[in-house]
Amino acid sequence: MASNNGFDTDNGNGGELHQHVPEKGRHDDADAHLTTNQGIRVSDNQNQLKAGTRGPVLLEDFVLREKIFHFDHERIPERIVHARGSAAHGYFESYEDLSDLTRADLFSEKGKRTPVFTRFSTVAGGAGSVDTPRDVRGFAVKFYTQAGNWDLVGNNIPVFFIQDAIKFPDLVHSVKMEADRGYPQAASAHDTFWDFISLMPESTHMIMWAMSDRTIPRSLRTIEGFGVHTFRMVNAKGKSTFVKFHWKPRQGLQSTIWDEAVKIAGADPDFHRRDLFEAIDSGDFPEWELGIQAFDQKFADSLPFDVLDPTKIIPEEVLPVRMIGRMVLDRWPDNFFAETEQVAYCPANIVPGIDFTNDPLLQGRLFSYLDTQLKRLGSTNFHQIPVNAARCPVINFQRDGHMQMLQPKGRANYEPNSLAEAGEAGGPRECPMTGFSSFPGRAEQYEQGDKLRIRPESFADHYSQARLFFRSLAVPEQAHLASALVFELSKVGLAHVRTRMLANLVNVDPDLAGRVGSGLNMPVPKASPVAAPVRDLDPSPALRIVDGPRAPESIKGRAIGILVADGSDAGTVASVRKLVKDAGAKPVIIAPRVGGAKLSDGSLLVADGQLAGTPSVMVDAVAIILSEAGCKALLKEAAAIQFVMDAFGHLKAIGHTPEAQALLDKAGVIADSGVVALDKGFVTAASRRYWEREPTLRMLA
């Protein structure tokens, strides 16, 4: 029988039971006390309250019930799309006074800073999927302006799959896991997606982007962002200017190779999230410039497409992008769930000086995003969650609702009222002079007519810009795009879908269709019918990643792997590390054992990663510093051979000591301009990939 005092007692089997007793004097700081959500201090967080030492748990154990109750409800519905995301705090800094274009306060003066919270995401996969599938990346920025929150919610691709929001559920249903079998996860390479796409010619331009290297980026820090739609800027005089928004990464555009992306997913499913966290943690803050393409109705009318069509771009060679500010991300969220998961973006969140157009996809988004927050966050008061809360005064008569956190005073909860005449607080009033007012649009809006469910004829050309995109790419990128189409369509079991896609591709580029048909061992059919003539538009070099205007010019911000083993020359290791650091890159020491390697001078160099767990896909170039004995040992290590083989196969620079040559030979490395000695030339070599090497290594479409 247990003793009445609850302390040591025999359990009947010769052992002893011990009730947990908190140590006295350890918690002088009030913040150190563990409490319930009601503020009641907890004496024992290790054991349930039981009726005797072996008895049942008592219903009165409110500590247990509250803790389990909360745990059981910790998960909220994930986003239907963009479920897997990473985000960071930062600021936007305006380059100039843009009052001639807009009265938005964040653009009101040069140097003005506005806090932001920016979330990057994949589209198709769930919250637990990997970071590196072939997928569009969401690029959403919440500006906490002095006039309220502005959400610029876009992607890393400037166009979209569909022209009208009524097709969005169909698009997402098609790309998600197939309804009867529940797979594939986070992948578009399956029947239902391509069946839908093959029946939607308007998706062709987006497919060119989706199958390009844009959807397998090297880092979130090296993607562009786009507002996708045509918006308006409106100045204080009510003058409207059309704008398209662009985010340009200071780090430059960088992508991976498909084989590399697949291997990264296996080596580190959180590769992009980790990279973003580590960059911010080390003070290498990611940065983008915000640019606009600003134009009027006359310019819009001169274009061979409709600027309200979200499947079209205005090439930068036709209308240059004007840089108007920069965004710096300098702080990781304190709590992932509270901020990254609960942040609620909505394209309808705009401020005075920014306005919408009649883009039919945008108009549907204005409804959808707000509606979904109630399902995800459980209350119409989601805007009171700190990450969603405006940083300017919020005063209105909206009251009550689930999880209402505010405590409005007074009895006025309606407007208009005359309580002020009785000496009571009457509350806020509308202000026509400073409040938001929608741009009337009649003077320069497209002609209004009868209410119809119809697409305008100006939206009918689905192939000219797809052709523009493909023909603008560098030769390696064209090969990657064709190979991506072969891979994706090879996963499609419905032969008629593959045939229909090939017929669509003929309209884009007959050579592209031929390459894809050859890769599938299928005859190329006649071109599918078109609703409007296909034009040959001038190529746009700005669309390239390889050798384009935003290709990185240095290794700044990149990771350089340094493979060492016992006996590696200490002086060479120190020299290479210094060269890499001086160039603004991160040296990553990789060794057979995580404890490190004993260098030639007897010192122990602790490794950043163990060889088998840190393959070369994790870095941007490699330096192999080995002694003869170290190289001989690694010749028997499969991970070392694969490390070098992948670095060469993924077209990366390889710097090496002469003693490492045997390992390079065994890995099949053939000397070229990207295989260099470990001197100052290595840093220059490491700044690029060696695309000329690729045709000798793999079969591309």
> What is the per-residue pLDDT for 559?
97
> What is the per-residue pLDDT for 419?
84
DSSP letter at 312 equals -
How far apart, in whole angstroms, are the C-alpha atoms of residue 564 and residue 574? 12
442 pLDDT exceeds 70?
no
Q: Tell me which of 15 and 142 has the higher pLDDT.
A: 142
Under 8 Å between Cβ of 598 and 613: no
CATH class of 559-696: alpha beta
DSSP letter at 41 equals B
How far apart, in whole angstroms, are the C-alpha atoms of residue 67 and residue 75? 14
pLDDT tens-place string over residues 655-697: 999 999 999 999 999 999 999 999 989 999 999 999 999 999 9
Q: Decide: helix, strand or coil at residue 483.
A: helix
pLDDT tens-place string over residues 600-620: 999 999 999 999 999 999 999
CATH T-level fold of 85-169+202-388: Catalase HpII,  Chain A, domain 1 (2.40.180)
Phi, psi (degrees; rounded to nearest 5) at 660: -90, 0
- Amino acid at the residue 515: R
**Pick from 207, 217, 313, 227: nearest CA to 542:** 313
Rg of the chain on CA atoms, in Å: 30
Q: Give the residue range(s) of CATH 3.40.50.880 domains in the chain.
A: 559-696
In Å, how far are 264, 283, 651 from 256, measured between CA atoms? 10, 24, 10
Alpha helices per DSSP H over 332-474 = 360-377, 464-472
For residue 398, what pLDDT band results from cuts at 50, 70 and 90?
Answer: confident
Mean pLDDT, range 633-642, rounded to an integer: 97
146 pLDDT exceeds 90?
yes
Confidence (pTM): 0.91
CATH class of 1-74: few secondary structures
Task: Annotate 424-435 with DSSP letters as a single string.
Answer: S-------TTTS
Find how far residue 218's CA is from the centre of its chain: 11
Mean pLDDT, range 578-600, rounded to an integer: 96
Q: Give the residue range(s) of CATH 1.20.1370.20 domains in the chain.
A: 462-543
Q: Among residues 89, 149, 155, 349, which one is catalytic? A: 155
In Å, how far are 481, 614, 666 from 639, measured between CA atoms? 30, 9, 12
**47 classed as catalytic:** no
pLDDT tens-place string over residues 160-171: 999 999 999 999
pLDDT tens-place string over residues 257-313: 999 999 999 999 999 999 999 999 999 999 999 999 999 999 999 999 999 999 999
Alpha helices per DSSP H over 583-620 = none
CATH T-level fold of 462-543: Hemocyanin, N-terminal domain (1.20.1370)
Q: Average pLDDT of the chain?
A: 92
Q: Among residues 13, 37, 45, 82, which one is catalytic? A: 82
How far apart, in whole angstroms, are the C-alpha atoms of residue 188 and residue 185? 9
Q: Give the residue range(s) of CATH 2.40.180.10 domains in the chain.
A: 85-169+202-388
**155 classed as catalytic:** yes
> What is the per-residue pLDDT for 420?
84
Q: Decide: helix, strand or coil at residue 233.
A: strand
For residue 449, what pLDDT band results from cuts at 50, 70 and 90?
Answer: low
Under 8 Å between Cβ of 583 and 554: yes
